[in-house]
């Protein structure tokens, strides 16, 4: 059996779903970051696969962009996370409700 586009897409979907559940369920900020990374990478897989399928490099280029953005996001995010941890001693999501409207 040859590995085709559909397999990649299914993989991407499964990863996306895992990431989505992670985003919704996780209470730990660090694990939330993991979940977003999974989300982003699932999309990257889809980009790369489709790009290869059409023979158009734009998709792969886009995937690089996503990787770069994800990296910078993590860098900023982790920085904030560490500051938060230093102040409050924990990184539980339910505790962060200063934005209550």
Q: Does 97 bind other proteins (CB under 8 A)?
A: yes
Contact letters (x/-) for other proteins, 33-52, by CB under 8 A? --------------------
The Cα angle at residue 9 between residues 46 and 15, in degrees rounded to 5? 80
Q: Does 87 bind other proteins (CB under 8 A)?
A: no
Q: Does 23 bind other proteins (CB under 8 A)?
A: yes
Q: Does 24 bind other proteins (CB under 8 A)?
A: yes
19 or 63: whose CB is closer to other proteins? 19
**Count, residues in the chain:** 101
Report, in angstroms and rounded to the nearest whole number, the Rg of the chain calculated over CA atoms: 17
Q: Which residues contact residue 35 at a Cβ distance below 8 angstroms, ignoring those fewer than 6 apart? A: 18, 19, 20, 21, 22, 23, 26
Judged by the rule CB under 8 A, the positions of this chain that interact with other proteins are: 20, 23-24, 26-27, 32, 93-94, 96-101
């Amino acid at each position: 059996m040859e590995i085709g586009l559909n397999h990649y897409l299914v993989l991407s979907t499964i990863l996306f779903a895992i990431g989505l559940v992670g985003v919704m369920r996780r209470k730990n900020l660090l694990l939330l970051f993991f979940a977003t990374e999974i989300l982003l990478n699932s999309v990257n897989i889809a980009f790369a696969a489709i790009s290869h399928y059409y023979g158009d490099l734009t998709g792969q280029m886009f995937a690089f962009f996503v990787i770069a953005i994800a990296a910078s996001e993590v860098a900023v995010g982790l920085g904030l996370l560490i500051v938060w941890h230093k102040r409050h001693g924990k990184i539980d999501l339910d505790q962060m409700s200063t934005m209550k409207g």
